[in-house]
């Protein structure tokens, strides 16, 4: 058996005291760039805060409600954090340059349907010229998506009617997002920045139920039946 080491780039969150104010600032930031942390590796740097184990657990729970999952803790004074908390990380080096954060997104069109955490359900058809932007998760459309309309989702996109417009899944950098639709006549399908236009799609798939997903940097489209 062989064990190998590998290094990754993670976001490091460095809370500042007072934690309550820092969380309020974080909320304001998330409101502008909803879903930015979804699915991203995040490390919590608590150096200089001298927090107790309970306080760290509480802080992690607070972050969890904001859809930020902590994969490791840095700079804790305690050597043993216990099995409930993420492991203590050491030896991290700063990545070259600041990590890419989204520029202020243009005002997302207010989705009319009721919003639930992680998913958006639209019961009416999405008409030409409408743009549904939902970075926080999946979008499900019960009707059709018209030619000239677009759905941009941080997660997967499900269309139970005909998809004639554009569907952009995994827009916040999620290559595991997929697109499902009952009848495909889409102008464009995109997952995590990789896209295919109507012209690059297999003509035999037209008007069929399909799913699209990413394998490496290739988008695959296959019929569902």
Contact set with another protein (CB under 8 A): 124-130, 143-144, 146-149, 162, 164
Please, are residues 178 and 212 in contact by the beta-carbon 8 Å criterion? Answer: yes
35: left (phi over 0), alpha (psi -120 to 50) or beta: left
Q: Which is nearer to another protein, 40 or 166 (CB)?
A: 166
- Cβ nearer to another protein, comparing 40 with 164: 164
| Cβ neighbours of residue 131 closer than 8 Å, sequence gap 6 or more | 109, 149, 150, 152
Residue 92 or 125 having the CB closest to another protein: 125
Residue 108 CB, nearest distance to another protein (Å)? 15
Burial of 5 from C-beta contacts in 10 A (0-12 / 13-18 / 19+)? exposed
Give the C-alpha separation, 130 to 203, whole Å.
26
β 210-215/218-223 pair status:
antiparallel
* d(C-alpha 146, C-alpha 46), whole Å: 49
Supply the minimum distance, in Å, between the C-beta of residue 144 and another protein: 7
Min dist. Cβ of residue 32 to another protein (A)? 24
Cβ closest to another protein, residue 146 vs residue 156: 146
Nearer Cβ to another protein (67/185): 185
What is the closest distance, in whole angstroms, from the C-beta atom of residue 151 to another protein in the complex?
A: 14
Q: In terms of CB distance, is 59 or 186 closer to another protein? A: 186
Task: Tell me the closest approach of the beta carbon of residue 123 to another protein, in angstroms.
Answer: 12
Q: From the CB of 189, what's the least distance to another protein, in Å?
A: 19
Cβ neighbours around 119 below 10 Å, total: 16
């Amino acid at each position: 058996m062989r064990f190998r080491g590998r290094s990754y780039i993670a976001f490091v969150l460095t809370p500042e005291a007072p934690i309550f104010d820092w969380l309020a600032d974080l909320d304001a930031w998330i409101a502008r760039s909803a879903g930015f942390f979804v699915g991203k590796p995040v490390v919590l740097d608590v150096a200089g805060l001298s927090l107790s184990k309970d306080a760290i657990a509480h802080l992690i729970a607070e972050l969890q409600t904001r859809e930020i999952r902590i994969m490791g803790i840095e700079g804790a004074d305690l050597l043993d954090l216990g099995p409930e908390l993420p492991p203590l990380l050491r030896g991290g080096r700063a990545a070259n340059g600041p990590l890419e954060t989204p520029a202020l997104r243009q005002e997302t069109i207010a989705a009319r349907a009721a919003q639930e955490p992680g998913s958006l359900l639209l019961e009416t058809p999405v008409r030409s010229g409408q743009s549904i932007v939902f970075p926080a998760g999946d979008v499900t459309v019960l009707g059709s998506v018209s030619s000239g309309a677009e759905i941009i989702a941080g997660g997967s996109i499900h269309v139970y009617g005909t998809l004639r417009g554009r569907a952009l899944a995994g827009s916040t950098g999620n290559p595991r997002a997929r697109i499902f639709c009952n009848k495909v006549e889409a102008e464009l399908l995109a997952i995590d920045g990789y896209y295919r236009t109507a012209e690059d799609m297999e003509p035999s798939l037209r008007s069929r139920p399909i799913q699209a997903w990413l394998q490496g940097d290739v988008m695959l489209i296959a019929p569902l039946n």
